Amino acid sequence: MALTIRQLSTSVIPPGGIPTCITYPDAVEGATADFELKSGLLHRLPTIYGLSMEDPNQHLMEFQFICTSMTPQGADEQILKLKAFPFSLADKAKQWLYELPSGCSTSWADIMKAFLEKYFPTSCIIMLRKKISGIQQGQDESYAEYYERFKTLITQCPQHGMKNETLLTCFYDGLTNLERDMLDAASGGSFVDKEPAAGMVLIENRALNQQQYGCSKSTHTREKVHEGMKGQVMACGVCSMQEHMSDQCPQLMEGGNFEGVNALGFQQEYQRPRNDPYSNTYNPGWRDHPNFRWRDNENAQQASQALNQRPPGFFPKPQAPLNPTSFNTSNSNSNASSSNDELIKALAKSTQALLAGQNNHERQINTIGTDMAEMKKQMSQVVEFMGKFHE
């Protein structure tokens, strides 16, 4: 009887089940292929998704370590890996496995080769080989950190194909001058005179000793920063330059604008000279001051002029600062220019600085007034005393 179109179009599973890329080999003598994968094993397997940032060599290393550690008693280890490997793949990586030709893998070595050809091609091997051969220790990198980075590159590329003596030469050439000299000293002469096996042990022991007893990277970095900060000058608060202090900024002193400096509160404290009559403290040097010699009327006039003379460092009270609100436009248009807003903020900030300077000057004026009043009182006492003395 002829088959109908419906019957011919129906999917029929071929003999032997669904095709698969993995064909299990016969178990080795003394082992069996008839065993069940335990859930404890499957839950501990690493997972790879087939992304470019993943490390396929590390995945294989972790996978084999777990399978070797958790092989059921009597089970063939190679067959165990072939059965468990699909459970360590996800997303793109699992789709790659399904797309392999049927029966192409008959051993664990076949699966590893196909997997690395897909996710660790020759271009990756060449790139990592260049990194190993051209490795250089950083200026802020300790010897132990440099050694760990060197080991990581070798682990990422076990297919580098470089001999141990070549690896040791690359490691030695990449050291800083100081670390290379220290490694030579630890070798009792020259490191390159060591045998490869002894050289491997030496560089590993040096890294281990530094990790146990050496300083950490953070401590090394803090020392570098501390040394770099020595001798630095505090930056100017006006122009952010380090060549001068804020009270010596050229932008403020251009054209003799000392009042602007004073208004911003950057004026240095005035150092009163010896025999200064404006000081509010007793100074034994007053007796030598020329204004206190009352031999004639000229000295008295000079003393009177000294009272009215403006002291050095005294500046007139600055004019009232502009009101920042005067810059606000009466137009309530919400689409005002952002540059005008920034200008208003800058002017308001400058106004606050001027107000602070004005308050500082008012306190200075009050202090000077008090000093002058006290001085007048003392001078009147001196005049009275000298008058009695001449009588």
Give the burial string for 358-370 (b: 16+ CB within 10 Å, else e): beebeebeeebee
Q: Please, how many CA atoms are within 13 Å of residue 67, restricted to the half-sphere of its CB?
A: 22
pTM above 0.95, yes or no: no
Q: What angle do CA 106, 110, 114 make, to 5 degrees?
A: 130
Mean pLDDT over each residue of the chain, to the nearest integer: 76
Amino acid at residue number 307? L
Residue 262 confidence class, pLDDT cut points 50, 70, 90: very low
pLDDT at residue 51, rounded to an integer = 95
pLDDT at residue 270, rounded to an integer = 45
Give, as one character, the DSSP assignment of residue 137: -
pLDDT at residue 181, rounded to an integer = 94
Q: Which tokens sit at 77?
A: 């280890």
- Say what angle helices 143-156 and 164-173 make with each other, to 10 degrees: 140
d(CA 214, CA 143): 10
Residue 49 reports pLDDT greater than 50: yes
* Number of helices (H), then strands (E), in the chain: 16, 0
pLDDT at residue 324, rounded to an integer = 46
Amino acid at residue number 134? G
Q: Which residue has the tokens 């760990």?
A: 148
Contact partners, residue 345, CB within 8 Å, separation at least 6: none
Residue 336 reports pLDDT greater than 70: no
Give the number of residues written for the chain. Answer: 391
Q: Which tokens sit at 322?
A: 């502009």
Residue 294 reports pLDDT greater than 50: no
Which residue stretches of the chain are H helix?
5-9, 39-44, 56-69, 77-84, 92-98, 108-119, 122-133, 143-156, 164-173, 177-186, 196-213, 217-229, 250-253, 258-263, 297-308, 338-390
Amino acid at residue number 178? L
Distances (CA, A) of 179 to 92, 175, 182, 273: 45, 6, 5, 59
d(CA 238, CA 147): 48
Whether residue 94 contacts residue 51, with contact meaning beta carbons closer than 8 Å, is answered with: no
Q: Please, how many CA atoms are within 13 Å of residue 335, restricted to the half-sphere of its CB?
A: 0
Residue 176 reports pLDDT greater than 90: yes
User: pLDDT per residue over 188-238, tens digit each?
Assistant: 989 999 999 999 999 999 999 998 886 545 444 545 544 454 445 456 655
Q: Which residue has the tokens 């804020």?
A: 246
Amino acid at residue number 11? S
Least confident range from 121-125, 136-140, 155-159, 297-301: namely 297-301
Please state, for a pLDDT cut of 90, what percent of the chain lies above it.
Answer: 45
Whether residue 210 contacts residue 145, with contact meaning beta carbons closer than 8 Å, is answered with: no
pLDDT at residue 255, rounded to an integer = 46
pLDDT at residue 124, rounded to an integer = 92
Q: Coil, strand or helix: which one is 54?
A: coil
Least confident range from 143-157, 173-187, 336-350: namely 336-350
Amino acid at residue number 325? T
| Mean pLDDT confidence for 123-151 | 94
- Please compute Rg for the chain using Cα positions: 44
Distances (CA, A) of 120 to 83, 115, 143: 22, 8, 30
